[in-house]
Structure 1
């Protein structure tokens, strides 16, 4: 049974109830006394207008979407004034509310079912106006905002986000603690740190990370026996011997030395045993090396390699934001508008996933997976229509297209003359001289 329009409307209004939006807007002082702008429709215009407007996205474009959906005329200055730090805070609050509410049914490999969740932490950078000094970049004469997130692969949701400047190292944003229990974390080399791995293990979590080229732990035991005249590895450092090996897999235990966190002003040295697995890459005549705490009895070396490939899911998410929703660069020189745009993009992603979940739930047969970028293109095409559906829920009448088009065509600033108008005025002045 396919979901009805009523089901989609009900889903979205339950995801962000009117009372929730209005209460948070009041707390953040987004709502002004005159209430000329409906903050509920403003939020939905940002979320759905972000998807619909693409690279032509602008505050003027959002205003037109709002006016068309609500059948109300709004002064450009009044609408622009709503784009404030307080509005960014409101969107942040709504994102925090939503990230744990949305999950998409997902075909999970049997190996993943052994974990509470499979998580990927990563970050991406958006280039900004070069004079926007609040978002410092790693290069001179540039600015850059970094979006850090923790992506739950198991249920296709985003559970944590941060927006910082480009110079902040993404690995410093990853927090350890009891929430790690039972979860598997897949890291690229940017998050490589023995102390982090030790804390995940001590909190009963699991991890797989690529082994950094400059990390050279000592091998303490071989976890797999080899027949014949195999090169002995115990007591040697992994990168010192890996080039001499030709076996299909490497599976060893290593001892890593690291510094614990500060305590009473000092940081003590400690060691911990981890597992290093190598999977031979015949094309490059070398190994993909992984460090992990997954037990040998349950995970073969080839399974470790396949598990790690799931980390690509977060790269696909970033590609969806940048290609389908065109969150690539910003022309504005105002930091709060940058935050509003990024938060609107993330809320768009949440809403898109929520609708996809509804469609999957109502499908006549089990859904093994939906290509995310194809779904994003479909959602973008329907976003403005969904906004009009929500306006009807809030009792706004259908749009008066003739009135809207007339207003937009005729109510232009006098300074914005057309080329023909400028020529005509110049000629008229010449003829009367």
Structure 2
């Protein structure tokens, strides 16, 4: 265990030198004087300890002890969870983006047709309940911060980052502009908005996103034909026919957003469904229960 911690520590120091973390901590007034807690191991302990599914300040405390072999009181960890810590996390993300973003490589293989591939995602960090007023969590009894990042596959570095309270919707943190031109944007359901898809297209970009299990586009064209007596999807709304389908793949063009009052809508997208009957790895988390056996993209 000690050997692996040593190797991990070396890699973290290479990615982000300790001196840089300490300088940023002082610049944000998180560290006003030398304290018992070192900013460098605290930064990584907080990053790993709060972004897991069971993340907590207790996990941060345990990781700090593992990294440093120093005992530290839980109250000392709590004292570092301040607005200045939020500023530090944002500054560090910006620093890494600049340092790693200086080297941009051409994409290869299936991605070589794109100028870049951007991946947008967010994660929630559990905070002390004392931070609830500034960083309300998903429940009424705990606090949480949400880190939003858009990462470039070409530069292997973030191009955008922000920190909000845990209740902020991901969709508010993905603003589409000409930066998506000739690029592929990948995002999950939290960022799905039909008007956003249209804006990506109009800015010369491409996208891939999951669809909600109850998404109901009107099918205007089938891109894959099937032999035998099969159900014709063209002219139907997807949810009308899904329960009766048994084909392994749905590949079609559908119109979305026809019922929304938005100048970018309605919009035609490619709709793909992959049958997952008896799929033990089906981890869909949508609140809407589906009456069909398809993953929709």
TM-score, normalised to structure 1's length? 0.47
Contact 2:192–2:209 (CA<8 Å) still a contact in 1?
yes
Deviations 1:174-194 (A, max 9, x none): 111111122222222222211
**Aligned pair in 2 of structure 1 residues 125, 83: CA closer, same or farther (>3 Å)?**
closer
Contact 2:93–2:158 (CA<8 Å) still a contact in 1?
no
Q: 2:296 aligns with which of 282, 289, 295?
A: 289
Contact 1:255–1:274 (CA<8 Å) still a contact in 2?
yes
Larger radius of gyration: 1
Contact 2:100–2:157 (CA<8 Å) still a contact in 1?
yes
1:56 Cα shift?
A: 6.8
1:233 Cα shift?
A: 1.6
Which residue of structure 2 aligns with residue 187 of structure 1? 187
1:99 Cα shift?
A: 1.7
Q: Partners in 2 of 1:286 and 1:31 — Cα distance? A: 53
Deviations 1:408-432 (A, max 9, x none): xxxxxxxxxxxxxxxxxxxxxxxxx
Matches within 5 A, 1:402-413: none
Which residue of structure 1 aligns with residue 114 of structure 2? 115
Q: Partners in 1 of 2:254 and 2:34 — Cα distance? A: 62
1:130 aligns with 2:137: no
Structure 2 unaligned residues grouped into runs of 5+: 1-9, 50-56, 71-77, 280-291
Q: Partners in 1 of 2:89 and 2:153 — Cα distance? A: 24
1:271 aligns with 2:271: no
Which residue of structure 1 aligns with residue 203 of structure 2? 203
RMSD between aligned alpha carbons?
Answer: 4.6
Which residue of structure 1 aligns with residue 73 of structure 2? none
Equivalent residue pairs, number: 259
TM-score, normalised to structure 2's length? 0.66
1:168 Cα shift?
A: 1.1
Contact 1:194–1:258 (CA<8 Å) still a contact in 2?
no
Matches within 5 A, 1:155-166: 156-166=156-166
Deviations 1:16-48 (A, max 9, x none): 7979986x778756786xxx649xx96545446
**Aligned pair in 2 of structure 1 residues 20, 167: CA closer, same or farther (>3 Å)?**
closer
Contact 2:123–2:146 (CA<8 Å) still a contact in 1?
yes
Matches within 5 A, 1:75-86: 85-86=83-84
Which residue of structure 1 aligns with residue 54 of structure 2? none
Q: Partners in 2 of 1:119 and 1:241 — Cα distance? A: 34
Going by fraction, where is strand more abundant, 1 or 2?
2
Matches within 5 A, 1:346-425: none
Q: Which has the higher contact order (CA 8 A, sep 6+)?
A: 1
1:237 Cα shift?
A: 0.5
